[in-house]
Amino acid sequence: MSAESLSPRLVGDSQRDDLMVQVAKLYYELEKTQSDISKETGLTRWQVSRLLREARDCGVVRIDIVAHSARVPALEVALQKRFGLREALVLEVEDDDALNVVTQAAAHYLCNLQPMPALIGVSWGRTLTKMAQWLVPRWNEGVNVVLLNGAINTRSVGEPSHNVAERFAQAARGQATLLPVPAILGHAHTREALEQDPVIAQVMRLGEQAPVACFSLGELSDHSVLMESGYIDRPLLQELERLGAVGDIMGRFIGMDGEPVLPELDARTLGLRLSALRDKAWSIAVCVGAHKHRIVHASVKAGYVNVLATDAGTARYLLEQDHE
């Protein structure tokens, strides 16, 4: 019987259901190829492919992905569909262990990128300092890790959190290219002058060219690393709150629309432009905790993030808020 004579069988619902079951069994249970099924049933390979796809869509075939870890594939897929993410790493963990588990997952993801980029951009802070601890030794030998924003602190904050690029590079047996300037300057014209310096300009060009940007998202609170580092004081924090800021991305404070809320402050911030994150092949944000929910939501909605590593509570918040 020819494939053409079987075409009408794809019209009747009951016969179509029987065919879907038959084809699904042959493919999933008996491990036949689509070409084998085509020969056995008389259907064309196109018809076999369409029946397999419809079998999944209508529930005749259900595929469960069971991760042998704390990852939650259902939430990951939901985030990817809702926000158009390239990848989501969502982990169901206790609050007191969330930072360890999520940064470890993010580190393993970075170490397994294919093809492995020769140039990677990173920001700094507590989260990425923790992530650096989980990088696999020699994970990308010869890589150039460039710092994406200024990292000279105005005061000591205890455990160093500004030498992330060096830590990433040391683990990889590569090199670090630093941006030896403050993250936020006192005057916009100072930032403009620094950006025209050939040394600073070269570092910033590397940051623009890097196909990978790995960063965390800053909360708007007294516990912010920018507050502790001396870049932001209490009056400025209150002003940012009044203007609707939800947090920062590499020192740039944004509202829920993804735009900087205080242009004067943004003009004094030295580092990668937010719009450049949308052009990265991998724009990897790593963050955990309820205190960062709003900045994560604003960042993924604005398209600054295409790979998100986070906890399950944050993932559920994003899906609920975006649905509302």
Task: Report the sign of the C-alpha dihedral through residues 254, 205, 203, 162, in that order.
Answer: positive
Please tell me the pTM assigned to this model.
0.80
Structural domains in the chain (count): 2
Residue 186, SS3 per DSSP: coil
User: Do 217 and 130 reside in the same domain of the chain?
Assistant: yes
Q: Quickly state the pLDDT bin for 225 (edges 50, 70, 90).
A: confident
Q: Does residue 160 share a domain with residue 19?
A: no
Residues 227 and 300 in one domain: yes
| Residue 64 covered by a domain | no
Kindly indicate the confidence band of residue 68, based on its pLDDT and cuts at 50, 70 and 90.
low
Question: Are 201 and 233 in a shared domain?
Answer: yes
At 6, the pLDDT band (50, 70, 90 cuts) reads: very low
Half-sphere exposure of 189 (CA within 13 A, CB side): 0
Confirm whether 62 is domain-assigned.
no
Structural domain span for residue 131: 73-323
Number of Cβ atoms within 10 Å of the Cβ of 279: 11
Spatial contact of 244 and 285, defined as CB atoms under 8 Å apart: no
CA dist 65 → 77, 163, 224 (Å)? 11, 38, 37
Helix or strand or coil: residue 247? strand
Q: What is the per-residue pLDDT for 323?
A: 67
Domain assignment of residue 63, yes or no: no
Q: Which of 22-31, 56-65, 145-154, 242-251 has the lowest mean pLDDT?
A: 56-65
Let me know whether 115 and 229 are in one domain. yes
- Residues 44, 111 within the same domain: no
Q: Which of 132, 192, 144 is nearest to 168 (CA)?
A: 132
Instruction: Establish if 42 belongs to a structural domain.
Output: yes
Mean pLDDT of 193-202: 95
62: confidence class by pLDDT, cuts 50, 70, 90: confident
The reply to whether 160 and 96 lie within a common domain is yes
Higher pLDDT among residues 198 and 61, named by residue: 198
| Cα-only R_g, the chain | 25
176 assigned to some structural domain:
yes
- Asked if residue 14 and residue 92 are part of one domain, the reply reads no
Decide if 68 is inside a domain: no
Residue 232 has pLDDT above 50, yes or no: yes
Last residue of a domain, one of 11, 32, 57: 57
Per-residue confidence band for 7, with pLDDT thresholds at 50, 70 and 90? very low
Rounded to the nearest 5 percent, the helix, strand and coil shares of the chain are 50, 15, 40
Check which CATH number belongs to the domain holding 228 and give it.
3.40.50.1360
Strand stretches in the chain, DSSP E: 87-91, 119-122, 144-147, 175-177, 212-215, 247-249, 252-254, 282-286, 307-311
- Helix/strand/coil for 248: strand
Q: Are residue 161 and residue 305 in the same domain, yes or no? A: yes
CATH of the domain at 46: 1.10.10
In a domain, 87, yes or no: yes
Is the model more confident about 67 or about 151? 151
* One domain, residues 52 and 97: no
Q: Do 153 and 227 meet the contact criterion of CB atoms below 8 Å apart?
A: no
**pLDDT higher at 155 or 139:** 139
Residues 133 and 38 in one domain: no
Band (pLDDT 50/70/90 cuts) for residue 40 is: confident
Question: What pLDDT score was predicted for residue 60?
Answer: 82
Residue 260 DSSP one-character state = B
